[in-house]
């Protein structure tokens, strides 16, 4: 789960990491009030779940509170396009208004899960402000990495090693080491999957301030962090994806016109791949789960039909333990509840599959039956393309 | 032959009295697997569908000689269940549970360390040696004994692959679902090491997906050490970056973990890489005809 920058900063602050003074504004009036409290001069940062905001005009500096209000007027409601949002951009609904910070140096600091090593790692680079992936491409040597031992924790000597490698000395090195410990603690205590400060700023007065912050969280661990679950911002998600997650469906909207409904994530991805391979474009990823009950199929179908770009649907179910006849009954029942306005191709595999196909054929519903994934993909792409 | 499990394997099911545990323990027994015990804390001394239930794994092991555990415990308690199996002297734990926090699995892997228990999963369909033992939730009837080792991060896509193989009369030595989570026990490379040493396994079918770098590691191992032909399919060629595709581990992060990247490395390492999931049966058939190779999977040139 993603959260906004200002929410991430509030969490870091709880772990004794210094962040610029400021607050979130949902209206120009609030921006004015916050800027006034900060003494007028302030930075306004658009809060959307995508990076590269500065490049798209999502970060502005106001000389006084009146200008902050004026800028907020322009920014709130604007569609912000950044390298990460796609061309349609993302609507700005909240701003972070905070004090400006005199910058002497910028550092990158992050904690994330290293899948290959099966441990979290602390990453640091002297090239603050640049995306870590970019640094990794251009100059991998510039990234310092220390693993966090799950049993003994992140050791102070590891933190010092990073601090010295960054060229810090004296009180600043000690401060950076303490800050790294705090960041690791914040990561672990919140079940984060990423805790990133970029840039971490060494101010001209010698203090360390998290100028920008990003945190994402392990969805599987949210059950034990209700306070973090509350930070979810449905405005940042596709409305159909929000609807799908309410029905425990894994749905991701894509750009194509062939809707697909599949049981199992791997098979769902493979189905998208084969649609593309035969010349079509998948409209979505949709995993109805290994079980695929008729209620789930019905809600899944409603979501597919709500996407107006869908011109054909491919249902690919590998029954496995579920019997084909039971699946077919579920499918028929589900689809009777939904207004179907496009051709539907069904590929069904599993025990009693012949019986299942007979039920589909005799349902009176307009299914096209397919034999195998390739046949199914070809059929649905042809049908969707002719509309 | 087969790897890890066979007709002599004795299985304890942790969480046997739950809905999933009950259903799938029954399915395994019907396949012929020796389900010798169940564990549900507080239900010790009872008998569940003819299987004796114990309060602890230790007791189940001592009383029934179970050596493998099949775990259906809910996510919040699953990490503890895995560690309990290790403590009880279980040789192999197969964890089906989906949705275990990654941090819990980090701790589990660190605690298991180089100890004697191997973990398969979590978030996996399990392991099957066709005709001998099914320890998981996969449909047994689609399998048949034979020379192909199957390893996969997926569930139903593995069934698809197996059904294509069986449909061509090609059997499987053992199929291992390693799981769709970012942090898992047995990796692709671990599984390949087992298949390398199994004389009956003559070819490998690897089913990967986007996210992480496990396919690349498998590719490098295949080039260096495997000595058997390998075919690979990587799901998610059309997956967008930054989105989690169903599995917790299936995500392209920071431009890393794409299918294209994985397929390129696999190809470079001499692995037969498929673009279409419909070509699995055909490609494995061809690989079997080609036979063994000296050294690695055959980096050419």
pLDDT in tens, A304-351: 999 999 999 999 998 776 677 877 888 888 888 888 889 999 999 877
Selected residue with higher pLDDT from B282 and A361: B282
CA dihedral B169, B172, B173, B175 (to 10 degrees): -170
Helix, strand, coil shares of chain B as percentages rounded to 5?
Answer: 35, 25, 40
Residue A270: which of B76, B213, B277 has the nearest Cβ? Answer: B277
* Cβ-based contacts under 8 A for chains A and B: 179
Are B139 and A351 an interchain contact pair (Cβ–Cβ within 8 Å)? Answer: yes
Residue with the two structure tokens 């080792």: B149
> Residue B301: is its pLDDT beyond 50?
no
Does pLDDT of B94 surpass 90? Answer: yes
Backbone angles phi, psi at A333, to 5 degrees: -60, -45
More confident: A290 or B21: B21
Residue-level pLDDT at A165 = 96
DSSP 8-state assignment for residue B63: H
Q: Percent of chain A having pLDDT more than 90? A: 73
Q: Cβ neighbours of residue B297 under 8 Å, at least 6 residues apart?
A: B222, B223, B226, B227, B228, B229, B230, B269, B270, B271
Q: Catalytic residue at B247?
A: yes
pLDDT of residue B41: 97
Query: Which residues contact residue A168 at a Cβ distance below 8 angstroms, ignoring those fewer than 6 apart?
Result: A176, A202
Least confident span in A11-20, A178-187, A212-221, A326-335: A326-335
Whether residues A351 and B209 touch (CB distance < 8 A) is answered with no
- Residue in chain B nearest A286 by alpha carbon: B246
pLDDT higher than threshold 50 for residue B298: no
Residues 102-121 of B with CB under 8 A from A: 102-107, 109-111
Residue A116: how many CB atoms within 10 A of its CB? 11
* CB < 8 Å to A372, chain B: 278
Q: How far apart are CA A2 and CA A232, in angstroms?
A: 7
From chain B, the residues in CB contact with A219 under 8 A are 244, 248
Q: Which has the closest alpha carbon to A269: A255, A287, A257?
A: A287
Question: How far apart (Å, rounded) are the C-alpha atoms in residues A370 and A383?
Answer: 13
B213 inside 8 A of chain A by CB: yes
CB contact under 8 A, A118 and B106: yes
Q: Give the distance, in angstroms, between the CA of residue A185 and the centroid of all CA atoms in the same chain.
A: 22
Task: For residue A121, give Cα distances in angstroms to A66, A114, A144, A157, A181.
Answer: 44, 6, 10, 15, 12
Q: What is the 3-state secondary structure (H, E, C) of chain A?
A: CECCHHHHHHHHHHCCCCCCCEEEECCHHHHHHHHHHCCCCEEEEECCCCCCCHHHCCEEEECCHHHHHHHHHHHCCCEECCCCCCCCCEECCCEEEECCCCEEEEEEEEEEEECCCCEEEEEEECCCCCCHHHHHHHCHHHEEEEECECCCECCHHHHHHHHHHCCCCHHHHHHHHHHHHHHHHHHHHCCEEEEEEEEEEEECCCCEEECCEEEEECHHHHHHCHHHHCCCCHHHCCHHHHHHHHCCCEEEECCCCEEEEECCHHHHHHHHHHHHHCCCCECEEEECCCCCCHHHHHHHHHHHHHCCCCCEEEEEEEEEEEEHHHHHHHHHHHHHCCCCCCCEEEEEEEECHHHHHHHHHCCCCCEEEECHHHHHHHHHHHHHHCC
Looking at residue A136, its pLDDT comes to 84
For residue A81, how many other CB atoms are within 10 A of its CB? Answer: 18
More confident residue, A85 or B19: B19
- For B241-285, what is each residue's pLDDT tens digit? 888 898 988 888 877 899 999 999 999 999 999 999 999 999 999
Measure CB to CB from residue A118 to each of B109, B180, B211 and give the nearest one. B109
Question: Distance from B24 to chain A by nearest Cα, in Å?
Answer: 9
pLDDT tier for residue A292 given thresholds of 50, 70 and 90: low
Strand order in the sheet with A250-253: A250-253, A284-287, A258-262, A312-323, A344-351, A367-370
Residue B170's alpha-carbon distances to A75, A141, A148, B205, in angstroms, are 62, 48, 45, 12
Chain A's closest residue to B136, CA to CA, is A321
What are the chain B neighbours of A351 within 8 Å (beta carbons)? 139, 141
Choose, out of A265, A319, A371, the residue to mutate when testing the contact with B (most B CBs < 10 Å).
Answer: A265
| pLDDT greater than 70 at residue A290 | no
Please identify every residue of A annotated as catalytic.
108, 196
Distance from the A218 Cα atom to the nearest Cα atom in chain B, whole angstroms: 7
Closest Cβ opposite residue A220 in set B99, B237, B240: B99
* C-alpha distances in Å from residue A374, one per residue of A75, A269, A342, A352: 48, 14, 20, 21
- pLDDT of A66 above 90: yes
Rounded to 5°, angle at Cα B38 from B173 and A323: 55
Q: Which of A173, A273, A61 is nearest to B250 (CA)?
A: A273
Q: Is the pLDDT of residue A71 over 90?
A: yes
Where is pLDDT greater, at A339 or B7? Answer: B7
Euclidean distance between CA atoms B205 and B275, whole angstroms:
14
B chain contacts of residue A353, beta-carbon cutoff 8 Å? none
- The alpha-carbon gap from B290 to the nearest alpha carbon of chain A, in Å, equals 25
Residue in A276, A285, A321 nearest the CB of B27: A321
Average pLDDT over residues A153-176: 96
Q: In this structure, what DSSP letter does residue B256 have?
A: B
Beta carbons within 10 angstroms of residue A205's beta carbon: 9
Question: Does A291 score more than 80 pLDDT?
Answer: no
d(CA A359, CA A354): 9
Percent pLDDT > 90 in chain B is 89
Q: Which residue, among B239, B160, B155, B275, has the nearest Cα to A284 in the 3D structure?
A: B239
R_g of chain A computed on alpha carbons: 26
- HSE-up of residue A299 (Cα within 13 Å, Cβ side): 19
CA atoms of A108 and A146, how far apart (whole Å):
14
| Predicted local confidence at residue B127, as pLDDT | 98
Ramachandran bin of A359, using left for φ above 0, alpha for ψ from -120 to 50, beta for the remaining angles: alpha
Q: What single-letter DSSP state applies at residue B277?
A: G
Per-residue pLDDT at B300: 41
Gap between the Cα atoms of A285 and A287, Å rounded: 7
pLDDT value of position B292: 74
d(CA B265, CA B219): 7
Catalytic residue among B24, B48, B143, B247: B247
Please provide the average confidence, as pLDDT, over all residues in chain A.
Answer: 93
Reduced to 3 states, what is the DSSP secondary structure of residue B212? coil
Distance from CA of B262 to the nearest CA of A (A): 15
Per the CB < 8 Å rule, is A265 touching B180? yes
Q: Which residues of chain A have a CB within 8 Å of the CB of B115? A: none
Record: contact A252-B240, CB cut-off 8 A = yes
ipTM computed for the complex: 0.94
pLDDT (mean) for A53-67: 93
Residues in B closer than 8 angstroms to A277, CB to CB, are 275-276
Q: Which residue of B has its CA nearest to A371?
A: B278
Residue B299 above 50 pLDDT?
no
| DSSP character string of B103-165 | HHHHHHHHHHTTSS-EEE-SSS-EEEETTTEEEESS-GGG--EEEEEEEES-SHHHHHHHHHH
Q: Cα–Cα–Cα angle for B69, B70, B73, nearest 5°?
A: 115
Per the structure block, which two tokens stand in for A178? Answer: 């303490």
Q: Which residue of A has its CA nearest to B20?
A: A291
Interface with chain A: mutation pick from B238, B239, B250, B263, highest number of A CBs within 10 Å: B238
pLDDT at position A51 over 90: no
């Amino acid at each position: 789960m993603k959260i906004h920058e200002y929410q991430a900063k509030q969490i870091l602050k709880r772990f004794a990491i210094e962040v610029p003074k400021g607050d979130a504004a949902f209206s120009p009036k609030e921006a004015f009030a916050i800027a006034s409290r900060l003494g007028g001069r302030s930075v306004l940062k658009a809060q959307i779940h995508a990076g590269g905001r500065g490049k798209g005009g999502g970060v502005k500096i106001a000389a006084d509170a009146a200008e902050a209000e004026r800028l907020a007027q322009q920014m709130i409601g604007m569609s912000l396009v950044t390298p990460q949002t796609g061309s349609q951009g993302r609507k700005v609904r909240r701003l972070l208004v905070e004090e400006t910070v005199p910058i002497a140096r910028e550092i990158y600091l992050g904690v994330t899960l290293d899948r290959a090593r099966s441990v979290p790692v602390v990453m640091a680079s002297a090239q603050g402000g640049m995306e870590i992936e970019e640094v990794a491409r251009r100059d991998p040597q510039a990234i310092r990495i220390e693993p966090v031992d799950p049993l003994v924790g992140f050791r102070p000597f590891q933190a010092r090693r990073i601090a010295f490698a960054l060229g810090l000395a004296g009180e600043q090195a000690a401060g950076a080491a303490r800050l790294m410990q705090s960041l690791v603690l914040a990561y672990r205590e919140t079940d984060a999957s990423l805790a990133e400060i970029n840039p971490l700023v060494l101010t001209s007065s010698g203090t360390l301030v998290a100028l920008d912050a990003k945190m994402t969280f392990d969805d599987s661990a949210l059950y034990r962090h209700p306070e973090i679950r509350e930070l979810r911002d449905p405005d940042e998600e596709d409305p159909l994806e929000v609807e799908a997650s309410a029905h425990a469906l894994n749905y991701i909207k894509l750009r194509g016109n062939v809707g697909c409904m599949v049981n199992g994530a791997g098979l769902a991805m493979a189905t998208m791949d084969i649609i593309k391979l035969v010349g079509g474009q998948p409209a979505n990823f949709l995993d109805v789960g290994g079980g695929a009950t008729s209620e789930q199929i019905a809600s899944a179908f409603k979501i597919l039909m709500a996407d107006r770009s869908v011109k054909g649907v491919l249902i690919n179910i590998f029954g496995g333990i579920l019997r084909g006849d039971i699946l077919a009954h579920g499918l028929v029942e589900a689809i009777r509840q939904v207004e179907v306005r496009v051709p539907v191709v069904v590929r069904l595999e599993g025990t009693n599959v012949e019986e299942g196909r007979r039920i589909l054929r005799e349902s009176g519903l307009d299914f096209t039956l397919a034999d195998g994934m390739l046949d199914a993909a070809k059929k649905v792409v042809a049908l969707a393309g002719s509309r | 032959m087969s790897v890890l499990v066979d007709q002599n394997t004795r299985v304890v099911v942790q969480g046997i009295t739950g809905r999933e545990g009950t259903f799938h323990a029954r399915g395994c027994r019907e396949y012929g697997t020796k389900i010798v015990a169940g564990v549900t804390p507080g239900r010790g001394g009872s008998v569940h569908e003819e299987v004796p239930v114990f309060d602890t794994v230790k007791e189940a092991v001592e009383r029934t000689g179970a050596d493998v555990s099949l775990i259906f415990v809910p996510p919040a308690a699953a990490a503890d269940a895995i560690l309990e199996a290790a403590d009880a002297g279980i040789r192999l734990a197969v964890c089906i549970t989906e949705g275990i926090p990654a941090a819990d699995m980090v701790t589990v892997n660190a605690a298991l360390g180089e100890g004697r228990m191997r973990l398969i999963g979590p978030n996996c369909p399990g392991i099957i040696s066709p005709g001998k033992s099914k320890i998981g939730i996969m449909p047994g009837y689609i399998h048949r004994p034979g020379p192909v080792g199957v390893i996969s991060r997926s569930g139903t896509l593995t069934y698809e692959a197996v059904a294509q193989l069986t449909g061509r009369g090609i059997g499987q030595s053992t199929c291992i679902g390693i799981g769709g989570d970012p942090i898992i026990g047995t990796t692709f490379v671990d599984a390949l090491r087992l298949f390398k040493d199994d004389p009956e396994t003559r070819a490998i079918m690897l089913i990967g997906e986007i996210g992480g770098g496990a396919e690349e590691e498998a590719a490098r191992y295949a080039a260096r050490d495997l000595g058997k032909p390998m075919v690979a399919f990587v799901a998610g060629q059309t997956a967008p970056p930054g989105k989690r595709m169903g599995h917790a581990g299936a995500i392209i992060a920071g431009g890393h973990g794409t299918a294209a990247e994985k397929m390129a490395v696999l190809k470079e390492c001499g692995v037969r890489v498929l673009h279409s999931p419909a070509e699995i049966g055909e490609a494995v058939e061809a690989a079997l005809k080609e036979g063994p190779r000296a050294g690695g999977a055959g980096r050419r040139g």
